[in-house]
Amino acid sequence: MTDQLQSLSEGRWKEMTLAEQLGNIGSEISRAFNWKNKGRAEMSLRAVDRALGLLDLSLAAGLPYPRLKELSRAREVVADYFYGENGYGSTEKNLRAYFDWFGVMARNRL
């Protein structure tokens, strides 16, 4: 676990709303796409790994079932897109749109 993830796991992450958590995860997903589009596969996968690590922190936070289901599906889709065969048919556009919405919600405190 990186120092940053270790720091988040020790308390700050659990204090964030689900929208804040998914907004931060979305930032890593955006970084992954930006690096991928620049042809920097290694940097892209590092960002994906950070996003998956943050999703794991959220899953470990003990949220109610509907939120766990949402987080589990998000993790599954992200891993499938970047590491699997993209069986869900995800696109960069729809993954960005999904996660960006949470960033907007967190910023506007919806």
pLDDT (tens digit per residue) in 10-54: 578 888 888 999 999 999 999 999 999 999 999 999 999 999 999
- Residue located via tokens 């949470």: 102
- What pLDDT is attached to residue 65? 80
Structural domain boundaries of the chain? 3-108
* Alpha-carbon gap, residue 80 to 88, rounded angstroms: 8
Give the chain's mean pLDDT.
90
Are 27 and 4 in contact by the 8 Å Cβ rule? The answer is no
Angle between helices 18-37 and 65-83 (to 10 degrees): 10
